[in-house]
Amino acid sequence: MKTISIEVVRLPHMDGIALPQFETEQAAGADLRAAIHEPVTLAPGERKLIPTGFCMALPAGYEAQIRPRSGLALKHGITVLNSPGTIDADYRGEVGVLLINHGDTAFTFQRGDRFAQMVIAPVTQGIFDVTTELSETTRGSGGYGSTGTG
């Protein structure tokens, strides 16, 4: 498994909260924790930006993808609204995560709760070449639902 070094700055409201952590040896995502001073409740249908308490400098050529935690999604309907969220290598502000409650009941986060995960991934930028026609495929221009019933 490849590793890279990521510079991190702890903000004052992260005091006592763990940095992002990979909870198992083969984990792709590092858990993010809520850097909140008071409990934050998400009512059904409500969305809020949850702070993590840190800023980072990703190396050029990498991004951080912010994704939901599967247990919160399954058990409570809590997910990342713009999933996956992207943090670009040139962003230097605090990492925040936009959560939404798709569940039927309110859910409350406490200080330090794990609420999302962050995957570090390489980035490929495309060069867009204008042309007058594209190569033929079996699918062609068939869009949503064109390859089956689901």
Answer whether 28's CB lies under 8 Å from 43's CB: no
Determine whether the annotation assigns residue 101 to a binding site: no
Amino acid letter for position 126: G
Rounded Cα–Cα distance for residues 19 and 34 (Å): 11
Rounded Cα–Cα distance for residues 1 and 18 (Å): 23
Determine whether the annotation assigns residue 47 to a binding site: no
Determine whether the annotation assigns residue 90 to a binding site: no
Q: Is 6 exposed, middle or buried (0-12, 13-18, 19+ CB in 10 A)?
A: middle
Determine whether the annotation assigns residue 88 to a binding site: yes
Q: Report pTM.
A: 0.89
Q: What is the mean pLDDT of each run of 10 residues along the chain (150 residues)?
A: 95 97 96 98 98 98 97 97 95 98 98 98 97 91 72
Determine whether the annotation assigns residue 71 to a binding site: yes
> Degrees (nearest 5) of the Cα angle 1, 21, 105?
125
